[in-house]
Structure 1
Amino acid sequence: MDTVTFEITTRDLRGQLSDVVSRAMYAGERIGVTRNGKLAAVLVGPADLEALEEYEMAQDAAAYREAKAEDDGTRVKLDELRADLDA
């Protein structure tokens, strides 16, 4: 991940948790947590999480608007759909 600014192992995280949380919270760093040499999690501050949630909401709203614009009003009954899927 290109946006991870620092990586720490789960073992080292145990002893440095307070410092790592502060780095994410106050410095805005994205801390990668590794286990067995592989990225297992990323610790981000609240501002990054809020930005991610806003982005997801904007994507969802755009997808809804697009689907609504493409809706031709045709509806299919559930048993018809099941019959088509079984065929």
Structure 2
Amino acid sequence: MGGMTEMTVSDARARLADVVDAARVGHDPVYLTRRGQRVAAVIDADDLDRLIAAAEDLADLEAVRAARAEIADGESAIPWEQVKADLGLA
């Protein structure tokens, strides 16, 4: 299935098993198009899980940077007991 990186939705419908195998084995997304525009992608499920985890890690890092910047700008940190209470953990 080499080179199957983009195909129409209609072609993908007719060759769904091949599309899934190409994404799963090749670990490259197969983009589905409609009227020449990409509308979706089929990717390996494990690859998607890794992408989601990486995005969540990046969001966490950005939140830490923002919190540190607030503290550096003079805002006081929220006490741990208050955080637990706000989350219903106290």
Q: How does the TM-score come out when normalised to structure 2?
A: 0.69
CA distance in 2, matches of 1:73, 1:13: 55
Which sits farther off after the overlay, 20-29 or 10-19? 20-29
Shift in Å at residue 20 of structure 1? 0.4
In structure 1, distance between residues paired with 2:5 and 2:67: 42
CA distance in 1, matches of 2:19, 2:69: 47
Identity of aligned residues (%): 24
Deviant stretches of 4+, over 3 Å: none
- 1:51 CA displacement: 2.0
The 5 A counterparts of 1:3-82 are 6-71=5-70, 72-73=75-76
Q: How many residues align?
A: 70
Q: Tell me by how many angstroms 1:61 deviates.
A: 1.1
The alignment yields a C-alpha RMSD, in angstroms, of 1.7
Per-residue deviation, 1:63: 1.0
Q: Distance in 1 between matches of 2:50 and 2:15?
A: 26
| Gaps in structure 2 of 5+ consecutive residues | 78-90
List per-residue Cα deviations over 1:19-76 (Å, max 9, x = no partner): 10111112212101000011111111013202211211121111111121122139xx
Name the structure 2 match of 1:79: none
Whole-angstrom CA distance in 2 between matches of 1:62 and 1:15: 43
The TM-score, its normalising length taken from structure 1, stands at 0.71
Q: Which runs of 5+ in 1 are unaligned?
A: 75-87
Q: Secondary structure at the match of 1:8?
A: strand
Which has the higher relative contact order, 1 or 2, with Cα contacts under 8 A spaced 6 or more apart? 1
